[in-house]
């Protein structure tokens, strides 16, 4: 590592400022998809159904500050949780940094644009339904978020 390397190469997740931590989110919104875990096997399946708070165009939470109060099973990512949540996508910047890997070219911190995550086909934009429009999310299981 060199002195002029970006912060995610120089710092651990635990030592990042709040601003640095928040900037790691690439805006893919894959973590905002409804998921189900098989109690017997522990296998997690993703659905093409987004949390009711997700803005489907921007792929950002519409009430980020109050999300945990409004969505009872919303998981607030922490440095400790990143290493234990097996359902985080392999492209997730938090996961990549925790594993000592670099960010992908389309990450806004590298590209300089929040649009590249969408242009690269990584985000959920245009691929999901809002939770409020779906009866049974499990009838919309998908493989692509992994």
Q: What is the pLDDT of residue 15?
A: 97
Q: Which residues lie closer than 8 Å to 111 by C-beta, 6 or more apart?
A: 105
Res 86 pLDDT > 80: yes
| Residues 32-76: tens digit of each pLDDT | 999 998 889 989 999 999 999 999 999 999 999 999 999 998 999
Helices (H), 7-102: 7-10, 18-23, 67-70, 79-82, 93-98
Q: pTM of the full predicted structure?
A: 0.90
The neighbouring-strand residues paired with 55 are: 60
Residue 1 banded pLDDT, cuts 50, 70, 90: low
Q: Give the pairing type, strands 129-130 and 44-50.
A: parallel
């Amino acid at each position: 590592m060199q002195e002029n390397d970006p912060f995610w190469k120089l710092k651990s997740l635990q030592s990042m400022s709040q601003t640095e931590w928040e900037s790691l989110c690439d805006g893919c919104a894959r973590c905002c998809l409804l998921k189900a875990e098989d109690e017997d096997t522990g296998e997690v399946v993703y659905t093409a159904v987004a949390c009711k708070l997700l803005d489907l165009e921007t792929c950002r939470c519409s009430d980020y500050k109050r999300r945990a109060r409004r969505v009872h099973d919303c998981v607030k990512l922490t440095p400790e949780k990143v290493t234990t949540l097996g359902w985080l996508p392999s492209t997730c910047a938090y996961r990549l940094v925790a594993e000592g890997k670099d960010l992908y070219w389309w990450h806004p911190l590298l590209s300089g644009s929040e649009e590249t995550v969408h242009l690269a086909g990584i985000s959920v934009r245009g691929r999901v339904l809002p939770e409020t429009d779906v009866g049974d999310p499990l009838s919309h299981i998908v493989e692509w978020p992994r």
